[in-house]
A = this chain, B = another copy of it.
Amino acid sequence: MADGTVAADQLRLFIERIERLEEEKKGIADDIRDVYAESKSNGYDTKTMRAMVRLRKMEIHTRQEADALLETYRIALGLS
């Protein structure tokens, strides 16, 4: 078997792994859509819910940055 073929097979495998993962990602995205739809059928406003999710994510992110900063200080000061 020539190297070219081996390389082609390896490349093909990488591509297929990526495509498989992208399908999974698509599936999760569809699940998220379904939850929003279910929420809507229960009387909740989708746009507002998306805003809530976005806001919570930002808050988590902000909190993590604050924690990282504290950790940096802790190490810099040689604290356990």
Contact = CB atoms under 8 A, between A and B. Distances in A.
A63 to B, nearest CB: 10
Contacts of A58: 58, 61-62, 65
8 contacts: A14-B44, A15-B52, A18-B49, A21-B28, A21-B35, A22-B53, A25-B29, A45-B76
**This chain: copies in complex:** 4
B66 A55 contact: yes
Q: Is the interface of A mostly helix, strand, loop or mixed?
A: helix
Interface string A45-58: 10111011111111
Interface in A20-39: 21-22, 24-25, 28-29, 31-32, 35-36, 38-39
